[in-house]
């Protein structure tokens, strides 16, 4: 009898086998509502890279003969890249070349500008303030900071408190303080000599205000 019970137990063991618990699939894809909420929070968050968070980027130049070359596209997954050719000054108008990032981000209470860049000329960062544009005195004497040239991608953090108006700013503009509530764009300008013209290549991997 004992052998019979043992034999039956062995048969039952083989018949049942080892049971594997069923796999449970977990959907880790965020809901549409959550994704939209996240996008709304970060779209114009000034702590994020302005190259990927909703800023509008464009390169521009004068109508005197200066050239902006963005290749196939100004923006790519690597950032922004542009080659400038500034014509020499021959009349009363001044030639210029600029890379501009306009944003709806709030500059108020921000303390620094952070950038990763490569430029073969000194790079001027300008806080575009409406008081100095066509909406104001039209002197374009924006508060600025000059970064050194760099033959490779380098990073820099500049305190907004260190931005100053250029030496050529007229007295009427010097009376206007830096008003961050009136700033809506950052200008990136290679420091070329307009008297003789020149060329410069600029690449930007990220640009943040924090």
Among 99, 125, 98, which Cα is nearest to 209's?
125
- Record the pTM: 0.77
Q: Around Cβ 25, how many Cβ atoms within 10 Å? A: 6
Per-residue pLDDT tens digits for 94-132: 999 999 999 988 888 899 999 999 999 999 999 999 999
How far is Cα of residue 139 from the mean position of the Cα atoms in its chain? 26
Residues in CB range of 144: below 8 A, 6 or more apart: 124, 125, 126, 127, 163, 164, 165, 166
| Domain count across the chain | 1
Residue 39 lies in a domain: no
Residue 32 lies in a domain: no
Average pLDDT for 25-30: 42
pLDDT, the chain, mean: 83
Q: Where are the alpha helices (DSSP H) in 29-84?
A: 32-42
Return the percentage of the chain with pLDDT > 70, whole number.
Answer: 77
C-alpha dist (Å) from residue 154 to 81, 150, 206: 15, 7, 11
Which domain range does residue 97 map to? Answer: 48-209
Residue 168 lies in a domain: yes
Q: Return the pLDDT at 159.
A: 97
Residue 163 lies in a domain: yes
50 with 41: CB under 8 angstroms? no
Residue 165 lies in a domain: yes
Rounded distance between C-alpha atoms, residue 159 and residue 64, angstroms: 35
Residue 15 lies in a domain: no
How far is Cα of residue 135 from the mean position of the Cα atoms in its chain? 25
């Amino acid at each position: 009898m004992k052998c019979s019970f043992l034999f039956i137990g062995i048969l039952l063991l083989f018949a049942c086998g080892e049971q594997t618990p069923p796999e449970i699939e977990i959907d880790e894809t965020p809901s549409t509502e959550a994704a939209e909420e996240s996008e709304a929070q970060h779209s114009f968050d000034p702590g994020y890279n302005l190259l990927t968070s909703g800023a509008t980027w464009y390169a521009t130049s004068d109508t005197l003969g200066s050239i902006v070359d963005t290749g196939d596209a100004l923006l790519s997954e690597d950032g922004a890249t542009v080659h400038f050719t500034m014509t020499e000054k021959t009349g009363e108008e001044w030639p210029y070349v600029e890379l501009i990032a306009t944003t709806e981000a709030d500059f108020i209470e921000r303390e620094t500008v952070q950038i990763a860049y490569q430029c073969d000329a000194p790079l001027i960062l300008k806080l575009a303030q409406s008081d100095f544009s066509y909406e104001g005195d039209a002197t374009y004497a924006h508060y600025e900071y000059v970064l050194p040239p760099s033959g490779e991608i380098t990073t820099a953090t500049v305190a907004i408190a260190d931005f100053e108006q250029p030496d050529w700013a007229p007295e009427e503009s010097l009376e206007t303080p830096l008003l961050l509530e009136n700033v809506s764009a950052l200008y990136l300008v290679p420091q070329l000599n307009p008297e003789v013209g020149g060329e410069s290549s600029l690449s930007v991997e990220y640009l943040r205000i924090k």
